[in-house]
Every structure is written in C-alpha cells, then in structure tokens.
Amino acid sequence: MQKETQETLCSKVEESYHIIGKKWMGLIIHCLMEEPKRFGEIHAFIPDLSKRVLNERMKELEECGVVLRNVITERPVRTEYSLTKKGAELGKALKAVEAWADKWL
C-alpha cells in the first residue's frame, strides 16, 4: 500500500538532474569555471572524454543557456566556450558537491 502523501516530482528538479546527470557534464562545467576555454583545452583537461561526445555536450550546454560559444574567425578557426550567468551560478552550486567530495571521498 502506498503512503497517502504521494510526493510528486518537481519538473525543474527533474530537468536539472537531467542536465547534470549526463556523463561528463559536471566536469565540463567545472573546467569552465576558472575561465573560458577552447575546445581543445577542454579536451586536454578531460582526456577520457572523446571529441565526439564533447562536441555533443557543448551543443547541449549551449542550447540550455549554460554555455556561450564564440567562434573566433582567425585561421585556424578557434572556438571559445564560456559560462553564461546561468552557467556560472550552476557552477557555484556544483561547488557544494565538490566540497562534499573533498570531505567524504
């Protein structure tokens, strides 16, 4: 028998876990916190993350407004990714998780 107080899931909460619950998302946001970075720099920072998936993640982060993509039209073309305000605040929230990690892991 279920409890009477049938809790229900807040869609915002659900959506946030859908974002940070994807593989590599946390680390990507973490590595953009200090300063904007180029594609290759992120890739160098997280070597186990393939270019294919990194590109996919960056598109997702751009689409949900966490990251801004700035294509620099020099040659060779460079792309710089930076956190938006929204993204920077997500990064700050994730610092709580990192503090937990530092204490417990």
Residues that bind DNA (CB under 7 A): 1, 22-24, 38-41, 48-53, 55-56, 58, 69, 71, 75-80
Comparing CB distances to its own copies, the nearer of 3 and 52 is: 3
Contact residue for its own copies among 60, 68, 79, 94 (CB under 8 A): 94
* 78-83: strand order across its sheet: 37-38, 78-83, 67-72
Alpha-carbon gap, residue 16 to 71, rounded angstroms: 27
CB of 103 to DNA, least distance (A): 25
In this structure, are residues 91 and 84 in contact, taking their beta carbons and an 8 Å threshold?
A: no
How far apart are alpha carbons 77 and 46 in whole angstroms? 21
Binding site for its own copies (CB under 8 A): 2-3, 7, 9, 12-17, 20-27, 30-31, 34, 41, 44-46, 65, 86, 89-90, 92-105
